[in-house]
Structure 1
Amino acid sequence: MDSMLWPFGTTWRPVRQKRRDTVDLRWLSARSWTPRWYPQGIDLGTWRGRRTVAVSWFRQDATRRHLASRVSFIDLERSRHLDILLAVDEGELAPAPIHAGGLAWFEDRLFVAATGKGIWEFDLAGIRRVRGSLARRLAGSAGRGWPTTALVAVRRRVHPIDLRCSYLGRVFDTEGEPLRRVLIGEYRTDENGSIGEFTLPDDADSSFREEDRFSPGIRSMQGAVRWGDRYFVSQSARMRPGVLWSGGRKALERDPEPLPVGCEDLALDLDERMLWSLGEHPWRRVVRGIPFARLGIDDRPPERS
């Protein structure tokens, strides 16, 4: 790993952080409005010993053809972000052709929802630096100029899953300990989308193991996470604020707290007692942390039955 990647490498760029009723992170660049890159997935982890939010993006051209995918790591203390391009290596490096609709971050393993293509696992321990035409190609940029150098995480493995794999979220037990499990769900415009819970593969010879599956009857689901018996599910509503559903799997209720316009994935931050989401639409893009107090959540979820 390049020693300049943390904490003050030349590829770090600022974001604006505003703390009031919620924690709002906004991009101080063209990525706040560009129709080329769209933010999708979110999770939290530790990068070089610091609390970090990871946000996935996909890039498309005017015909909506996929060009590239990346993950932005945001240092929550210093309000700066670092971009990591996602790539596949099949004899030569090429952009990862995935929507990147959700993230689950486990140490040096980054799992990414690849809509219709299972779950893709990327290696954060072997991040590479590339330059010149290769950097531009992996970023989906045909012209000269940015980027002249880029950081790249390469796909380690494809995990086939019997779901559409639109989004991906973490699972925590009643005491708030992270489990080696994820929720994988389907975005559908009808009410038939399913959410499955899977145990992570331990090694290269094992596969995701399905533990549970249910259909909450919610249209346009964009993300799901679980803490004890409490589920959180995000629902997009085009250009209106997103809707948060929470509660037991058979008794999800609409929360009065709105999610960002064009809401996407969800992530739980139990250390700071916060639920994170993000909005994808140009000019309305925000990465938002909502304190549990605004959601009417006390320090403990319901006991498991």
Structure 2
Amino acid sequence: MFGLFGSMWRPLRHRRRGVVELKWLSARTYTTKWYPQGIDFGTWQGRRTLAVSWFRRDKTGQHLASRVTFIDLERSRHLDVALTIEGDDGELAPAQIHAGGLAWFGDRLFVAATGQGIWEFDMSESRRIRGAAARRMVGARGRGFGAVALAVVRTRVHPVPLRCSFLGRMFDTHGTSLPRVLIGEYRGDKLGRIGEFTIPGHVEGSFVSVDQSSPQIARMQGAVQWGDRRFISQSRGLQPGALWDGDGATPQRSDVPLPIGCEDLALDPEGRMLWSLGEHPWRRVVRGIPFDRLGL
């Protein structure tokens, strides 16, 4: 696993109307080169940790790189890790994907590579890269960016019969993580699907479909499940995002707002929080909603 959390900046943690918010105190709050998308919760070095995925693109919309930021929730510090692919010659190349969602199971990190299935990365080992190689892993040019970077390597690509725009974990009512995920499709209309899948084994196997539904919600961005309660995020342009709550077939819109430009969802059993994040420049925030506001 990686060493101590390093940081050039700290996200500001504060409470606002009963929620916990982290705000980026750097160019990340407004850059149009990198966009935050996926989120999940885990424990790292004994600390409660959030993982946030980002993708980098150029002015034409071409994807250049992707990374995950691990945030120590107690100290509000962070560590960036580049997502990479290893070639036959051992050289690393950036994972040029729209990293739309995360599911974190111990040393296994599953990433929704929108339109390209689910990509799996091994977090048990990291590689420290420097200079031009580091800049290449983060899709940057010139000498002033990415002098040193940490990277994790893709181990497998898992084909899934859905567009794989996002994915989220499932828990029982006691907060135990189940070996299943929800994988869903973002669409502008109401025809997007969400499927429940078992995760593959460490060495072999594939995502196996358990159930599939179309909840009739346009612009779905994330989904997680606690017992028989399924939560779905819906983006609404420059208005606060909507949270849908209920069983998989007939969710109802909640009165709990999500961030503007909301994306993925994550459940935090230890802190009893539902986490989401906003992607729009100048409105980027990572927000934790206490379970008691959700009736959990």
Q: Taking structure 2 as the reference length, what is the TM-score of the superposition? A: 0.96
Range with greater deviation from structure 2 (52-61 or 138-147): 138-147
Equivalent-residue separation in structure 2 for 1:215 and 1:72 (angstroms): 31
Contact 1:130/1:149 (<8 A) preserved: yes
Aligned-residue offset at 1:247: 0.9
**1:1-305 → structure 2 map (5 Å cutoff):** 1=1, 5-7=3-5, 9=6, 11=7, 13-20=9-16, 21-90=18-87, 91=89, 92-295=91-294, 297-298=295-296
Equivalent-residue separation in structure 2 for 1:73 and 1:57 (angstroms): 11
Contact 2:214/2:249 (<8 A) preserved: no
| Secondary structure in structure 1 of the residue aligned to 2:75 | coil
Aligned-residue offset at 1:202: 1.2
The runs of 5 or more residues in structure 2 that have no matched partner are: none
| Secondary structure in structure 1 of the residue aligned to 2:275 | strand
Aligned-residue offset at 1:294: 2.1
Contact 1:13/1:82 (<8 A) preserved: no
* Aligned-pair identity (%): 63
Deviations 1:204-252, CA, capped at 9 Å, x for gaps: 2211111111110000000000111100000001111100000112221
Equivalent-residue separation in structure 2 for 1:253 and 1:146 (angstroms): 45
Amino acid at match of 2:293: R
Deviations 1:261-295, CA, capped at 9 Å, x for gaps: 00000001122221100000000000000112222
Aligned-residue offset at 1:12: 5.5
Equivalent-residue separation in structure 1 for 2:204 and 2:267 (angstroms): 29
1:12–1:44: structure 2 CA closer, same or farther, 3 Å change rule?
farther
Aligned-residue offset at 1:69: 0.2
Amino acid at match of 1:18: H
Equivalent-residue separation in structure 2 for 1:215 and 1:86 (angstroms): 31
Q: Taking structure 1 as the reference length, what is the TM-score of the superposition? A: 0.94
- Number of aligned residue pairs: 293
Equivalent-residue separation in structure 1 for 2:54 and 2:23 (angstroms): 15
The runs of 5 or more residues in structure 1 that have no matched partner are: 299-305
Equivalent-residue separation in structure 2 for 1:81 and 1:19 (angstroms): 19
Amino acid at match of 1:24: E
Provide the residue aligned with 1:303 in structure 2.
none
Q: What is the aligned-residue RMSD (CA, Å)?
A: 1.1
Aligned-residue offset at 1:51: 0.7
Equivalent-residue separation in structure 1 for 2:290 and 2:202 (angstroms): 36
User: After TM superposition, where is structure 1 displaced by more than 4 Å over at least 4 residues in a row?
Assistant: none
Equivalent-residue separation in structure 1 for 2:173 and 2:256 (angstroms): 23
